[in-house]
Amino acid sequence: MVHQPRDRATGEEGMTLEEHAKAIEDAIQAAHNDGFELDDGNGEPIHVMELNAIHDGSFDRWVYIDLPEPTYY
């Protein structure tokens, strides 16, 4: 069974971990298509990203975020 979180502000059902990961992937890809790219804050590209579900202070599970290949290296 997939954990269905509650929105902290409204108490309504929130998005799942997988739904959030897909939304993040889509936003990053859209930005990439418009000529924007992520870096690690020091100008180095980011090759791997994970979205983690944390419950009671420990990692419960995670999914990888698919990132487009950087063009500036």
More confident residue, 73 or 42: 42
For residue 2, what pLDDT is reported? 56
Distances (CA, A) of 54 to 2, 19, 34, 51, 57: 14, 16, 32, 10, 6
> What value does the CA radius of gyration of the chain take, rounded to a whole number of Å?
15
Domain boundaries, the chain: 18-65
pTM score, whole prediction: 0.78
For 6-59, how does the pLDDT look when each residue is reduced to its tens digit (9 = 90+)? 767 787 788 999 999 999 999 999 999 999 999 999 999 999 999 998 877 778
CA dist 42 and 17 (Å) reads 28
